Structure 1
Amino acid sequence: MKKLTSNLTVQVLTAIALGVLVGAFFPGVGAALKPVGETFIRLIKMLIAPIIFLTVVLGIGSIGSLKKVGRVGGKALLYFEIITTLALVIGVAAANLIRPGAGVDTSAATARAAETQKYADQAAGMDWVAFFTHIVPENLVGAFAQGEVLQVLLIAVLFGLALTRVPEAVGRPLLSTFERLSHVLFGVLAMVMKLAPLGAFGGMAYTVGTYGLSTLLPLAKLMASVYLTMAVFIFGVLGAVARYYRFSILKLLGFIKEELLIVLGTSSSESALPRLIDKLTAFGCSRSVAGLVIPTGYSFNLDGTTIYLSMASIFLAQAFNIPLTLGQQLTIIGILMLTSKGAAGVTGSGFVVLASTLAATKVIPVEGMALLLGVDRFMSEARAITNIIGNAVATVVVAKSENEFDEAKNRLALAGAVQPESDVLPPEHPLPPAHEPGPR
């Protein structure tokens, strides 16, 4: 019994259930618990930049080849583009087949149109060229201070490549120091993860307490359609990819179940980013591949977000009785292929992307987005979970294609014989004194 209650999966599941109950029966208390979930996410976010930096630098230091780094990055980006395009097509097809927008009352959209104006304004001001130039930071410290994942990734790649070119007498001690720092940071992550149930409880209580389960009823068909489509994508498309590369999607999901539950409770995929790198390294992927693919995927491989955006666009057209031709639907897919990448890292990026897409098509009214405000928070959990699963599968695929996947380690991990570093708290023993006192 003690072993069961100390299991992180059981703790997080219990916390999510309690969060739903508190939010449903005591909505005022649930809404007031927002800082609890946010504080946990902030604790995780403070570790993201340094963990990515150290992981990538150590990984490239072990690769020692610019050509191989470029090949891994190129494979990852090609895979991302193929899979996210499939996700867009599946989302559009599912929305046309299920027709979740048929018969929806659109009167609420006019009443809440002002709430969507801020997203329309943000979309109008977005500069897609600026997004890509923003990947290059103005200074090293700013990238870490602001938690810009892609900027930190770029710095880490350049730093790691530079380390492979300096004399061994310079590079080796630095790599050794970074290795020690990496162990310490994963020790900190292990301590922070002890608070995961509290973060999941606060996040779920806030969501249910603020938005209420009653808000789900008018758009229940849309929610059910989105969840069903994402499940088909995960077990159909990603499952087929996994079978082709000879690994089990179910075993992978079982291995990262704690991360999926944390994402479910907090509605934030960032809450699992540093631990996912550690988990997939334990699963058998080389740390260098995991360190490169996962941070890049958080901006360019948002499978869940692309499914939701494509379905939401078609849903709004159906709700307003606007028939879309095949050409118009293909145009929506083409626009989303660009905009879904361009808003990565923007607060409320899902709505910003949707607003920019609707504005670009000039067919579906932007104010219709007000229909989605009540259920967006609940669907963000499905988006985040699908995103993290997509990035986990992508990491294993790239690792296997590069012969950077340890099959023996994978078998041990699935048997429970390999523990991720962030699962193990550092031993409690004092550090030795910096120097022995000399004779007086």
Structure 2
Amino acid sequence: MATSSSTTTPPNPNAGPRRKRDRTHYLYIAVIAAVAAGITLGFAAPDAAVELKPLGEGFVNLIKMMISPIIFCTIVLGIGSVRKAAKVGTVGGMALGYFLAMSTVALAIGLLVGNVLDPGSGLHLTEETRGVGAEQAAEASESTTEFLLGIVPTTLVSAFTEGEVLQTLLVALLVGFALQAMGGAGEPVLRGVGHIQRLVFRVLGMIMWAAPVGAFGAIAAVVGETGMDALRSLAVIMIGFYITCVLFVFVILGTLLRVVAGVNILSLFRYLGREFLLILSTSSSESALPRLIGKMEHLGVSKPVVGITVPTGYSFNLDGTAIYLTMASLFIAEAMGDPLSIGEQLALLGFMIIASKGAAGVTGSGLAILSSGLQSHRPELLDGVGLIVGIDRFMSEARALTNFAGNSVATLVIGTWTREVDRERMDEVLSGRLPFDETTLAGDGHGHEHEPAPEARPAGHAVERAPAPTA
């Protein structure tokens, strides 16, 4: 009897999550149906479709509401549970170096393709398009000093109320290092933060059921506002941008992931398929940030690596935005009959990469950054920003998808470099034998710790993660 009970016990825990996860399949089928319905409505009744824009904005705002507490809990748990501060510094230094290298590569590819395609020739600036760039630049104008001072929150809790990712990151780092220095005295606080993290992810799971409504409103409004005219006249730059993003993701990132981590990028993207669908329907990579944290931990990457790499990457690893800024700048200059020299291209785009930090995931932020850069370096080209407004939302989707792909690859690459990836668990997850629990999104059994002494951790973590290696 003992033998039979031991053989029937393992399937029961797996059966529960599978039944819960199966229900979420209907959710993402509903998202796909909502996207199709939104596109149809956008073409059939554009005026009515535009009125549905608040539905999409409301859903994205709900997701953004959860980002600060999720980042805070993830980083505090990741750093606070590490016994050596040098390990955190190593991960952070590697992450920043990697982000700088990838941004440079993305810039180079955007410049190369932009110069080859020669986009913008044949288009003419109309009076209706003038002034758009000035409006966008006014929203994004910010000096380097203002940017650096903006990282420091007004109070310890204002980072959560203002929704600033970098401010939340700073507070979480300070709290995490403080708990690390407290040693055993800080473990009750870590346990409390762990409970809060599980609660926050449960709330996020509830919000996700509104995804079909948000996707329907967002897509309908985009199609209703844009129509087909802008797509026809600007097809070259848009298609060229999409092709460039695809080449960067599958050739550059795919090769890097295979060489460093030994992972097929298609396997990783299949695992993150629902997140890509969510980004595609909302045009915001921030909508998938909380889920990326949970899934990377579930994949076997340690909490410190996930907690540092993912939030930092959302501010500093903007591969899609870098490609967009290069190609859009060349497009505008060509369209206005004032092409940029190689020196001007490097100076302008170097400035834009610095200015883009902290703006990831926000729909339309790329247009504001583009306008701000042109105003600072080539103000005579600012009027040309209006030429690209019609397709910016469609390019925003490609930016968000590329940024998200870059951050998911970065997490695995940095985790491999620092030896903070459980290879056996990663193989189990990518093969589908260890499915992600869509009901909790993070917490129980999703994060894999790599510290040698599990008994020194909060009791909940040790008990709940014990079965994972044997699954």
Q: TM-score, normalised by structure 2?
A: 0.84
In 1: Cα distance, 2:310 partner to 2:63 partner: 16
Match of 1:112 among 124, 129, 152: 129
| 1:149/1:22 CA distance change after superposition, 3 Å | same
User: 1:309 Cα shift?
Assistant: 0.6
Q: Write the deviation string for residues 213-248 of structure 1: whole angstroms up to 9, x where unpaired.
A: 332111011110110110011011111111111111
In 1: Cα distance, 2:64 partner to 2:281 partner: 16
SS of residue matched to 1:194: helix
Match of 2:421 among 393, 396, 405: 405
Give the fraction of aligned pairs with identical amino acids, expressed as a percent.
Answer: 45
Match of 1:242 among 238, 245, 257: 257
Match of 1:272 among 278, 288, 313: 288
1:425-436 equivalent positions in 2, closer than 5 A: none
Whether 1:331 aligns to 2:350 is no
Letter in 2 for 1:21: T
Question: Equivalent residue for 1:308?
Answer: 324
Question: Equivalent residue for 2:78?
Answer: 59
Whether 1:200 aligns to 2:186 is no
Q: Is the CA contact (8 Å cut-off) linking 1:89 and 1:333 kept in structure 2?
A: no
Whether 1:41 aligns to 2:60 is yes
In 1: Cα distance, 2:231 partner to 2:41 partner: 17
| 1:232/1:59 CA distance change after superposition, 3 Å | same
User: 1:411 Cα shift?
Assistant: 1.5
In 1: Cα distance, 2:437 partner to 2:373 partner: 42
In 1: Cα distance, 2:431 partner to 2:36 partner: 29
Letter in 1 for 2:204: L
| 1:58/1:295 CA distance change after superposition, 3 Å | same
Letter in 1 for 2:129: R
Q: Write the deviation string for residues 122-172 of structure 1: whole angstroms up to 9, x where unpaired.
A: 45x42112101211212111110011111111111111111122251x312
User: 1:9 Cα shift?
Assistant: 3.9
User: 1:189 Cα shift?
Assistant: 1.5
Q: TM-score, normalised by structure 1?
A: 0.90
1:35-434 equivalent positions in 2, closer than 5 A: 35-104=54-123, 106-108=124-126, 110-123=127-140, 125-168=141-184, 170-245=185-260, 246-341=262-357, 348-362=364-378, 365-424=381-440
In 2: Cα distance, 1:50 partner to 1:337 partner: 27
User: 1:312 Cα shift?
Assistant: 0.5
Letter in 2 for 1:353: I
Q: Is the CA contact (8 Å cut-off) linking 2:361 and 2:400 kept in structure 1?
A: no
Structure 2 residues not aligned, in runs of 5+: 1-20, 443-471
Letter in 2 for 1:84: S
Q: Is the CA contact (8 Å cut-off) linking 1:189 and 1:422 kept in structure 2?
A: no
SS of residue matched to 2:421: coil
SS of residue matched to 1:403: coil
Greater displacement, 202-211 / 326-335: 326-335
RMSD value over aligned CA atoms?
A: 2.2
User: 1:298 Cα shift?
Assistant: 1.1
Letter in 2 for 1:90: I
Q: Is the CA contact (8 Å cut-off) linking 2:103 and 2:322 kept in structure 1?
A: yes
Letter in 2 for 1:259: E
Q: Is the CA contact (8 Å cut-off) linking 1:285 and 1:406 kept in structure 2?
A: yes
- Tell me the matched-pair count: 421
Q: Write the deviation string for residues 288-333 of structure 1: whole angstroms up to 9, x where unpaired.
A: 2112111111111111111001000111121122243322222233
